[in-house]
Structure 1
Amino acid sequence: MANFRYLPNTEQDRQAMLETIGVKDIMDIFSDLPENVRREGKMNLPEPLSEMEIVKEMTKMAALNTSSSQKPFFLGAGTYDHHVPSIVKHIIMRQEFLTAYVPYQPEVSQGELQALFEWQTMIAELTGMDLANCGMYDGYNAVSEAANLAFGHVKKSNKVLVSKGLNPQAIETVKTYGFGKNYSVEEIALENEVTSLEDLKAKLNPEVAAVIVQYPNFFGSIEDLKAIKAVLEGTKTLLIVSANPLALGKLEKPGALGADITVGDVQPFGIPMSLGGPHCGYFAVNDKLMRKIPSRIVGETVDEEGRRGFVMTLSTREQHIRREKATSNYSSNQALFALSSSIAMSAYGKVGIQELAQANINNTHYLAKELKAAGFEVVNTKPFFNEFVIKLNKDIQQVNKALFEKGFVGGFDASKAIGMENAYLLCATEKRTKEEMDDFVTALVEVAK
């Protein structure tokens, strides 16, 4: 990444700006505020540092972190240690993409518009849905906006059902959105670490706007979307699928299995972990829901001379249409990271994505096999993708601390999410080598047995 520098204003710069706006002192800008709410004196902050000093200080602070380039990473749970092709950085660092804003003026935004159009096409093809918008803030925002869409679409509905196999952070976000929109969110129990069809049947009624499941789910297991859709037959309830886009390189597309809305996060394609964010969400629907999709859709057209061009075709957010007609007040998307993921997908190609998905399957199953041979109980009874759960007999926090001292970043404590004591969620992406996995098994035996 390029080394950017912050150049502060000089005192002369500040005085020139104050003179331009017709005031003598910076505090004059706040003269409209009552004196009793103004802060007197300087804030309790450290003295300013020179550029050389601040770089040293920040470098020292950054060194306290441990990155995945330093230790083998077996933590997943929503953010994954995947390879980022070098071409991604070379393209997104181009000035016309790095500094681009919302493409309101298509005549000067053709590059960004075309990139988003191509991304939408890739997402629609990958998910098997009819169309996709040009991106969301992240996967949790996307699944919550999908719940809002369903609530507005299904008349007389007041409830959304979410599988306990959905990422816990996603469940919490959906509940927050539900509070704002005044619909309730009820969880569907698990049976053998996947959504219980019997519990779904018991809780399904005409007031349910949508059923939300994750594919593969939070514990890595692959949900039976076809069976879940069959339960919804004859109802107006929508099926919302939160899908890992990399897994779709090998799994059947949600659109082919009856999903009405497919959402997710494209972090597995070309987006670094970055301490858990930022990410980039995607949102894909069937034709019937096109005009209720949040954010924007970029479309292809021709100009007066018949040349191919791109424009914002559909914008249902409040900034573009009357507020009462808007589907969402949602504004921000992650256009630069949408571009990152489309570059990565293009670099891999259709066959490459399939091979990458298979590598994740192979590594995870090898790790599970070796752990089972070492005496650990593998909880997953269903096929799984690049994550799985094992049962430990020791406190997970202490196990992870001991693993870290041995040179590994361990897994996630999924005990609360799955309803089992010391449930340890592990992930093995394509970046994990056989040697790393073998060494990890040896270390886990030493610290957890």
Structure 2
Amino acid sequence: MRYLPLTDDNRREMLGVIGTDSVDDLFVDVPAEARLTGDIEGLPKYASELAVERHMARLAAKNIAAGNVPFFLGAGAYRHHVPASVDHLIQRGEFLTAYTPYQPEIAQGTLQVLFEFQTQVARLFGTDLANASLYDGSTACWEAITMAGRVTRRSRAVLAHGLHPHYVSTAQTMAKFTKDELFAGAPDLDASCEEDAIIAQIDDTTSCVVVQYPDILGRIPDLAKIAEAAHDKGALLVAVVTEPVALGLIEAPGALGADIVVGEGQSLGVGLNFGGPYLGLFGCREKYVRQMPGRLCGETVDADGKRGFVLTLSTREQHIRREKATSNICTNSGLCALAFSIHMTLLGGTGLEKLARINHSRARLAAQRLSEIEGVSVLNTAFVNEFTLVLPSDARVAVRELADRRVLGGVSLGRLYPDEDALANGLVVAVTETCSAEDIEAFATTLEAVLQGEAA
């Protein structure tokens, strides 16, 4: 990208057009204490390209790469093996873009892939249809809440305590501008999914109930029970899936009564990618299709009767009047959707089930081995590939000491819920097909040494 310098006169002219006195006026929503005032401390004014490369290499060397050590992190982002063919195909010139194509006559391949992606997501979620993707799981969750509000004409959403706190935070941020009421809280460190507590919050003003499946602690809530209670009050059930591989083994949310199913597609084809870009999945019942955000790719025939693919039902603000739009989603995660679709195609239905069973089997082995450590217990009575350990002391300390010994041993609940002392000893552990028996044993022996206070 070219560097385009501006003069002071240029800046004053632009600020005058938009009606502000200074550039600082554009950042009034950012708290003053979070704004930079002056140079970044310790950063030189200039350096040679070689010096910058060496400095960045030294910084990068401090990182622990996921593939270099026993890796048991999860809680919304998962390490799975991504076949080399996925990366090879998405880098082809005709595919290498994150955007939905606007000119169908020259982009039939990309449109067909997105059409097939929608079919795969709909089958995975057990919904009638799915859109061409959103940005990520957390923003897809918020879009589901606002969609439920449009359908029910209500603005009160109940968020299950087992919903990922980052998803809750995203929804709370957006609700500040829409004035939606959100009822949320932290989970108990208990094997129960607290369905009765969720149901007790539903009333005649509730637009939807948002339930993660499996939840942040790896527990598997009874969606059918919650769906029945929600529907009795005229509310919708929104199911959130952060680990789509789990659906190779447990019932699809749509088959259990979920009206809208959203999730994060990172697990399949995308990789960890330092936290992004990721992939928002969104499916719903057909009767709600005109309230669905984002884009939908459809199949049709051209003037000669040949099959073709087009964009349809793109009721977003870029296409229609802003007040009539279902969303302001101005693009989609097209390249990540392609990666997801290729990986799903390589697996097929049988392969996905086999992958989920391998994950579950290794998770069971890990849970059994870790529970043998004195003072450590497994919270869950049922799980797929993620479960919660209860340690005898603060899990944040254990995680740091494990990392110092080159084991990435899970995500501490104290990190996710820093204000909830009752959750401090909880450790969320994810086990995928990338975790070997040797990795599990290394995790167990290292955790035992950490808890016993042995020197590294």
Determine if the TM-score, normalized by the shorter chain, exceeds 0.5.
yes
Distance 1:61 1:188, change over 3 A: closer
Cα distance in 1, alignment partners of residues 160 and 192 from structure 2: 8
Matches within 5 A, 1:7-406: 29-30=10-11, 32=13, 37=22, 46-99=44-97, 101-155=99-153, 157-187=154-184, 190=187, 192-243=190-241, 244-406=243-405
Deviation of 1:64 (Å): 2.1
Cα distance in 1, alignment partners of residues 379 and 224 from structure 2: 20
Matches within 5 A, 1:415-434: 415=414, 417=417, 419-434=422-437
Which runs of 5 or more structure 1 residues have no equivalent in the other structure?
Answer: 1-5, 19-24
- CA contact 1:391–1:423 (8 Å) conserved in 2: yes
Cα distance in 2, alignment partners of residues 364 and 88 from structure 1: 26
- CA contact 1:318–1:328 (8 Å) conserved in 2: yes
- CA contact 2:386–2:429 (8 Å) conserved in 1: yes
Cα distance in 2, alignment partners of residues 251 and 81 from structure 1: 20
Cα distance in 2, alignment partners of residues 114 and 33 from structure 1: 43
- CA contact 1:245–1:268 (8 Å) conserved in 2: yes
Indicate the SS of the match to 2:77: coil
Higher mean C-alpha displacement, 183-192 vs 242-251: 183-192
Deviation of 1:432 (Å): 0.3
RMSD of Structure 2 on Structure 1 (CA):
2.4
- CA contact 1:188–1:199 (8 Å) conserved in 2: no
Q: TM-score, normalised by structure 1?
A: 0.89
Amino acid in structure 2 at the alignment position of 1:331: C
Q: Deviations over 1:383-436 (max 9, x none)?
A: 111111111123323212221232211211114658433111111111000011
Distance 1:136 1:376, change over 3 A: farther
Cα distance in 1, alignment partners of residues 196 and 348 from structure 2: 40
Deviation of 1:27 (Å): 5.3
Distance 1:252 1:38, change over 3 A: closer
Indicate the SS of the match to 2:13: coil
Amino acid in structure 2 at the alignment position of 1:222: I
- CA contact 1:197–1:228 (8 Å) conserved in 2: yes
Indicate the SS of the match to 2:261: strand
Distance 1:387 1:110, change over 3 A: same
Which runs of 5 or more structure 2 residues have no equivalent in the other structure?
Answer: 25-37
Cα distance in 2, alignment partners of residues 349 and 370 from structure 1: 32
Amino acid in structure 1 at the alignment position of 2:449: E
Cα distance in 2, alignment partners of residues 430 and 33 from structure 1: 55
- CA contact 1:208–1:237 (8 Å) conserved in 2: yes
Q: TM-score, normalised by structure 2?
A: 0.87
Cα distance in 1, alignment partners of residues 338 and 22 from structure 2: 45
- CA contact 1:300–1:308 (8 Å) conserved in 2: yes
Amino acid in structure 2 at the alignment position of 1:373: E
Aligned length: 427
Cα distance in 2, alignment partners of residues 38 and 330 from structure 1: 27
- CA contact 1:396–1:413 (8 Å) conserved in 2: yes
Deviation of 1:311 (Å): 0.6
Distance 1:442 1:34, change over 3 A: closer
Q: Deviations over 1:316-350 (max 9, x none)?
A: 11111111110112223211001011111111221
- CA contact 2:298–2:311 (8 Å) conserved in 1: yes
